Structures are given as structure tokens and as C-alpha cells.
Chains A and B, each alone.
Chain A
Amino acid sequence: MQVRTEHWQRSLEMETWSLERDRFLVRILAPAKERGVATLKVDREVWNFLPRVDRVIKVPPSMMGGAWMGSHITNDDLVKASHVDEDYTFTLLEESPEHYLIECLPKVNAAVVWGKIVYEILKPQLVPGTVTYYDEGMIAVREISFADVRTTGGRTLPMRMTVRPLDKPGEETVLQYQEITFDVPLTAAFFSLRTLKER
């Protein structure tokens, strides 16, 4: 993951496991200073493990809007992105030979931070192209674009994701998969606080 902001540039190497969409675990491998810092997400909760103090800290609701690992991804994104279909209603805006444009509007009672999300799905491969996030004033504030579409393990998916805050030109977070393996035998029990603490 490469992060570029006005104040810092960082490059992290991480390994991650995920099971369906409710559970995942990320652990930093490099740089050495941050090696072992890990994040566990189960359903709607997020924990961080900090090896320096040897403690697991649950991210409280008030900090869910905070940056995850100094990137442009928030803790909220980790939790809410997997529930887009539960929190939003979908409308097909446009269909062309190249892509579908899908507009997502929040449901009345959904606790979400965006006013609108527009997904562009590339038609030939059926993979996401660009996702644009709008705030409550319907102003586009963030864009996530996907690239480097490859077929691995029988699946076609973009290997690179770029997050750009539109109100801060020049800043971005790039997530690039180096290697990806599917159908790894994992159980729900693997995504536990105990695994989180293992180095």
C-alpha cells in the first residue's frame, strides 16, 4: 500500500486473510518499525493490535471516521463497504456497451456517511471501474478507481485500487495486490483476537 498525503508518504507491505465479507485480518510486514501492527474486522467491529505496547485496542465509534494506517481509507470504510447492499438502494443510471452506471442512495434508516455512491461497472469483464462517493451536499468528495485487471485462480479482478480524496488534489492511497490465493481453508475461528495478537 502506498500512501501520499500533504504531510507524509508511506509504503507498507501487508498480508491479509478474509472470509466471506464479514471477517478479515490485516498484518503489516514492512517497514520494520510497524511490523506486526494488525487490524481485525469481524462484522461491524474493528480491533487494532499494537505490538509495541502488546495491546489490542477496539476502535470506538467516535474513532470510526479516523484514517486506517494513515491512509485515505477510514475504519468506517472497512466496516461499511461490505454492507453497501444493506444500507443503500440501487438504480441503474446508464447502460452502454462499455459499462453500467449504478447509483446508490442511502436507505432512510441507514447510518452511513455518504449522500450518494455511483459505481461504474466495466461491462466486458464485469469488474468495478470507478466508484465515486458524494457527501450529503451531493458533491463528489472521493473517488476509488480500479486497474490492472487480471485473471488469477479462475477469477477476474482488478489488482490495483486507488483512493483519491477529491478535495485534496495530489493525495492518494494505492493498494496493489502482489499475490492472491483463493479457497484457502479458513474458519471463522481464525478471525479471533488471539490470532490478531500472534506475530
Chain B
Amino acid sequence: MLWRLALRNIWRNKRRTALTVSAMVVSSSLLILSLGIFSGMLSDMLASATEQYYGHLVVSVTGYQDDRDFFDNFSPDPELLEGIASNPGVRGISPRLRTFGLVSHGQRSDPAEILGVEPASERQVTRLQEKIVAGSYLADDPENGALLGRGLAERLGVNPGDELVFVTQAADGSIGNDLFTVQGIFSTGDSRHDNGLVLVGLLALQQLTVLPDRVHELAASLEDPMTAGATAAQLNARLPAGLEATDWGQLLPEMQEAITASDVSRLIIVTILYFATGLGILNTFFMSVMERTREFGILMALGMRPWRVRAMVLLETLAMGGVSLSLGISLGLVLSLYMATVGIDLSQTITPITYAGGTIAPRLRVVMEPANFIIPSLLLLAVCLLAGFLPANRAAGLDPVAAIRED
């Protein structure tokens, strides 16, 4: 009976109901969309930081990641690799050797970081192969091929096929030097890498630095980057002494903070938007309760208990909230799906921004996360009930005699 009354009341003033419902639909669907874009930006940033260079988790000599001491290298025996690969959730492992030296072509030389990798393994950890702007990625047997960032290539004036000389201090104190051929040029949007990173074959770099069979780190990628902390902790319990696993949260503390901060800012956006929506709902119901003062008086005079009056008004708000919610979620889902598959390309107007170690790509794109739908939905219902509570109380507190006499 209460439900029927409540529904009938809602439809009595169709225009007002439609306005309130549309306010709720718009606010909840926009909220879902903006939270999705927010998640998209964060996942872009995280992906750029981890999948362009670091990997999700790195095994190295304890302390290596702090100072990158050239002599903190180790031998990656098959048992160790197997032990890491057998961890659930590990997608790929890439052994790497790192040195800092001079890259030169003709008269030009520039300092750079040189990373020796096995291309087939490295492709499972980073996605530089998707960022190639000229030439191609390193072949599985790279020989003396080299991949370098666009900024560095421009400064040296090299194109694919050109010759590069690397000069660095080798492990035996001699001047390590060798000739390489530019295989490809990448552009990641992260200026540090575009201006100073060179990838070469692991074997070639081991020879150059006189560090046969040694590496500085094993970079791993995971199915779910968010499990990196837990996986690193598991590995640390089993790794041989002297080695440690570091997850991206430790490698990039700023990124970890950015993600934590985003949870807070997400809540702030939700609060502001829903506060405004809540005031709208409150206003609508106050009006509708005031208009029906006489009606409530009669209902109560006929014997309706105050709690039932209150329940009726609350049911009205809840019903409106429910309708708005289903419409809002559907609209939000449609918008999000569109933005997830198509997105908006902003590269014409803005350039990539590097922040907290990650790069925000110049595009708007949605990443679907359950929380981005659940939080707005639950909160919308809560706001409805909260906004309905005051008018419902007022209606329930009416004195039947005074109410009937009111004009």
C-alpha cells in the first residue's frame, strides 16, 4: 500500500520528478565517467613508468637500486630464474645489464644509460616495441644492434642503419668500446628515457664491459601490477642472500603516493558533486511535502501513523533514487564504454606530461574499475535517503488538525 501511494505521488508532478531524476542521472553518470577517466590516467601513468622501463618488480643485489653501483652485479643461474618464474602471476622476466657511458656518432658524443637486454625476454616486461618511431625493435639475436630514444638520436643526428660508438669504463679498468648499428628509435614521452637511454643486446654489453654472464637486475612483469608488493615480499623470503626484490611502489615512491592521493581526490570529487545533487533532491522533496501538507493531515486524521508517513516519503525518494540510479549507471556505462574503446585524442593540443615518474599520455581514456561504479551508486542511494529524511520528518511531525486547516 505504501509503495503504491509513494509511486503515485511521484507521478503526480511529472515535470518536477523528471527534473530531479535527470539531475541525479546526469550527476551519477558523469561521476562514473570522470572516475573512469581518472583511473585511465593513473593506469597510463603506471604503465608508462613500469612498462616502458622498470618492470613491475626487480630482483637485484641488495642496495643496487639506490646507487646503481656497476659492481653490484650477479650471475642469473637457471635455478634463480625458475624460482622467480614459478611465482604465480609472473608474466615475464628480463635479465638486464646496465652501464653509463658515452654514445658517439661522428663528432657528436653524449652521455647515456646503456641497457643490455635479451629482446625476447624484454618484450614480455616492457612495451618499448610499441613505441618505435623509426626502424624496428631489436631482433631476437640483436648482435650489435642498438635501440635509442628519439631525443638522443636527434642530438647525435643518427637514423636507423647509422653507426654508433659506445665508450664506457669496463669492469677490468680498461676502456670498454665497441661499434653498434642503430636498429630503431623509440619515443616514450618520458624525456629522461627519450634523451638518454640506449638498449643493446645483453651479450654484446657483457663483452663490452668485461662482465661475462653477469647482470645487474632481473626485471619482471606481473599479470596484475597491484600485486607487486605482495609478490616482492614472497620472493624476498626465498631469494638467496645478497639479492632483494623491489616492487614498483619502492622503485617509484612518488607513483605510489600519486595513487594513494588519487583515492582521496576521488572521494573529494564524489563529495562535491553529490553535495550539490543532494541539495537539489532536498529542495524537490521539501516542496512536494509542503504542497501536500493538507493531504498528510487528512491521512493522519484517517489514522495513518507518523512512522508510516515518514516511510512513505522516504520510499518516494528511494524510488526516484532507484530509477535515477539504473538510468545513471546505464548512461555512465555507455559513456565509459565509448571512452574505453574510442577515447579522445588530445595530442594536437597538449604534449605528454611526466609526473611522479610516469607519463600522462595526451588522451582521455577510461579504464573500467568496479569501484568506479559501486561507489557512485551506493553514495547516490545514501544521498537520496539523507535528502529525503528531513522532509519525511517534517511530514511525520505534522499536527493533523493544524495541517488540515492550512491553505
Measuring CB to CB, which residues of chain A are less than 8 angstroms from any residue of chain B? 3, 5-8, 10, 33-34, 37, 48, 50, 52-53, 55, 57-58, 60, 62-63, 66-67, 69-71
Write out the residue numbers on chain A whose beta carbons fall within 8 Å of the beta carbon of B167: 48, 50, 57
Which A residue sits closest to B177, measured CB to CB? A50
Write out the residue numbers on chain A whose beta carbons fall within 8 Å of the beta carbon of B170: 70
B181 to chain A, nearest CB (A): 12
Given A7-B71, A58-B109, A60-B102, do A66 and B169 touch, yes or no (CB 8 Å)? yes
Write out the residue numbers on chain A whose beta carbons fall within 8 Å of the beta carbon of B179: 53, 55
Check: B174 CB closer than 8 A to any chain A CB.
yes
A24 to chain B, nearest CB (A): 18
A104 and B208 alpha carbons, distance in the complex (Å): 41
**A-B pairs with the 7 shortest C-beta distances?**
A70-B173, A8-B173, A50-B177, A53-B179, A10-B173, A55-B165, A8-B172
Write out the residue numbers on chain B whose beta carbons fall within 8 Å of the beta carbon of A63: 102, 111
Write out the residue numbers on chain B whose beta carbons fall within 8 Å of the beta carbon of A48: 167, 175
A154 to chain B, nearest CB (A): 36
A53 and B177 alpha carbons, distance in the complex (Å): 7
8 contacts between A and B (CB under 8 A): A34-B175, A50-B175, A53-B177, A53-B179, A55-B165, A57-B167, A62-B111, A69-B175
Given A33-B174, A48-B175, do A58 and B165 touch, yes or no (CB 8 Å)? no
A62 and B170 alpha carbons, distance in the complex (Å): 18
Measuring CB to CB, which residues of chain B are less than 8 angstroms from any residue of chain A? 71, 102, 104, 107, 109-111, 165, 167, 169-175, 177-179
Write out the residue numbers on chain B whose beta carbons fall within 8 Å of the beta carbon of A62: 111
CB of A70 within 8 A of CB of B111, answer no
CB of A34 within 8 A of CB of B174, answer yes
Identify B110's interface contact among A3, A10, A60, CB under 8 A.
Answer: A60
A14 and B13 alpha carbons, distance in the complex (Å): 100
Number of A-B contacts (CB under 8 A): 61
Write out the residue numbers on chain B whose beta carbons fall within 8 Å of the beta carbon of A52: 177-178
A66 and B167 alpha carbons, distance in the complex (Å): 12
> Which has the most chain B C-beta neighbours within 10 Å: A6, A33, A48, A66?
A66
A69 and B110 alpha carbons, distance in the complex (Å): 19
CB of B169 within 8 A of CB of A70, answer yes
Task: List 19 additional A-B contacts (Cβ < 8 Å) besides A53-B179, A55-B104.
Answer: A3-B173, A8-B171, A8-B172, A10-B172, A37-B174, A37-B175, A50-B165, A50-B167, A50-B177, A52-B177, A53-B165, A53-B178, A55-B177, A57-B109, A57-B165, A57-B177, A60-B102, A70-B172, A70-B174
CB of A7 within 8 A of CB of B111, answer no
Which B residue sits closest to A67, measured CB to CB? B169
A7 and B167 alpha carbons, distance in the complex (Å): 19
Which A residue sits closest to B167, measured CB to CB? A57
CB of A70 within 8 A of CB of B102, answer no
A69 and B109 alpha carbons, distance in the complex (Å): 18
Given A48-B167, A50-B165, A58-B107, do A70 and B175 touch, yes or no (CB 8 Å)? yes
A8 and B211 alpha carbons, distance in the complex (Å): 12
CB of B174 within 8 A of CB of A10, answer yes
A61 to chain B, nearest CB (A): 10
CB of B177 within 8 A of CB of A7, answer no
A192 to chain B, nearest CB (A): 16
Write out the residue numbers on chain B whose beta carbons fall within 8 Å of the beta carbon of A7: 71, 171, 173
A51 to chain B, nearest CB (A): 9
A66 and B101 alpha carbons, distance in the complex (Å): 10
CB of B109 within 8 A of CB of A60, answer yes
CB of A5 within 8 A of CB of B173, answer yes
A58 and B105 alpha carbons, distance in the complex (Å): 11
> Which has the most chain B C-beta neighbours within 10 Å: A5, A58, A71?
A58
A71 and B175 alpha carbons, distance in the complex (Å): 11
A60 and B107 alpha carbons, distance in the complex (Å): 11
